[in-house]
Amino acid sequence: MDILLDNKRLSGTIDAISSKSYAQRAIFAAILARRKSNIGLDTLSEDIESAISCAKALGCKINYKDKTLTIDSSAEFKNNIVVDLGESGTTLRFLLGLLPVLNIKAKIIRRGSLIKRTNDLLFNLLKSAGVKIREENENIYIEGFLGQGNYSLRGDISSQFISSLLLSLAYHDKKSLVKLETKLQSKSYVDMTIDVMEKFSASVEEKENKYIVSGPYRPTDYKVEKDWSNSLFFIGAGVEVRGLNFNSKQADMKAMDFIKKLGYENISNCGVKIKKQREADEYRILDAKDMPDTVPILSVLSAKEKGFTKIVNVERLKYKESDRIKSSLDLLNRLGVKAVYKDDSIEFEGRGSFTGAEINTYNDHRIAMSAIIASSFSEDKIKVFGTECIDKSYANFLDDFKRLGGSYSVI
């Protein structure tokens, strides 16, 4: 869907949506718990529904009612299954670990940008353990068994590979060791995985460059906490967002430290509402290493303030829903900001406001939402092409945007 946005400021209060990252982890833990678990989940998204589709394909009984997702995995798992994952990279990587641990043969169907996203590191590890994997166009075919044991892999490509192994290997009663060959990037996402695993009674022992895990998982009642990454879009627009956990393991919460560099402080007693208190720092650095998903929206927020911004450790952004280096640069430049990429960094000088523009989302939900929020700081109307990608993580985003004072028309 293509939309034309008016340049109107947002205001009001909104409840944060459920964290899709926590929800996906909880769904996989519930599958492995082998009985009935109840997951408190206020909102769904395409990524969450992709994880639910895995549970259904395996034969779990699923019910979603009154903001509670019930997963009953007590029946014998189905074999020789087919699962369509859409474009959910996290779900794919978690499933690649789960299937061989359960010794289940499967055909996995990928869509869109997910077909091109790299999984070689996990493929090679599984193949070395005797699991058969082959790719054929959008399909992945997998069969074989991954037992308890000692495994090692790099930690600087994707934390999802490590999370996949930890989640899955803990299904075995006996201990398994996962050793990191390099320093772990985006450690907070692995910490989130461990947090969920322990809530479902799995044992996780973290030592230097290694994790020791074992089961069994046990069914539980689990409440998914609210999502910091998606909340940042409305926080940045000046809306009060409620329900967030200030002790969260979500690294995206650290975006608030960067927002302070822009001269804003939280003035809410029961949520997050930022207010300008001083001029922005003239020179500011954003480290994308542990919170890559925040780069598009924080780029927009920083670009509307005077001063120089350097975003470092962005190389891994190439492997997101889009090449997020390219798409973020294009977003900024179309808004009238002269942004460049050099030496693993994005650099630009803020301009105070934005020009009218036509924005390509590159089928990336975070680029789309960032462009929509940018319209509230624009001097003229902004067109955004392909906003349907927002459903991946925040299905009601445009409804919430409109309720908070935003205005757009479909073109």
Catalytic residues, by residue number, are 293
Identify the bridge partners of residue 401 per DSSP, sorted by sequence position: none
**Who contacts 344 (Cβ-Cβ below 8 Å, separation ≥6)?**
312, 313, 314, 315
Q: At what angle do helices 120-128 and 159-169 cross, to 10 degrees?
A: 40
128's CB contacts (< 8 A; 6+ apart) are none
Supply 208's token pair.
């230097």
Long-range contacts of 58-65 (CB under 8 A, 24+ apart): 58/31, 58/102, 58/104, 60/31
Per DSSP bridges, beta strands 106-109 and 3-5 are unpaired
- Between helix 89-101 and helix 46-57 the angle, nearest 10°, is 20
Angle between helices 187-199 and 159-169 (to 10 degrees): 20
For residues 50 and 53, give the distance between their C-alpha atoms in angstroms, rounded to a whole number.
5
Return d(Cα 45, Cα 51) in angstroms, integer: 10
Amino acid at 253: M
Vertex 240 angle, CA 235 and 244, to 5°: 75
Rounded Cα distance between 292 and 273, Å, is 22
Phi, psi values for residue 305, rounded to 5°? -110, 145
Spatial separation of the C-alpha atoms in residues 72 and 64, rounded to whole Å: 12
Beta strands 210-214 and 203-207, pairing class: antiparallel
Q: Concatenate the DSSP letters of all residues of 367-392 into one string.
A: HHHHHHHHGGGBSS-EEEE-GGGGGG
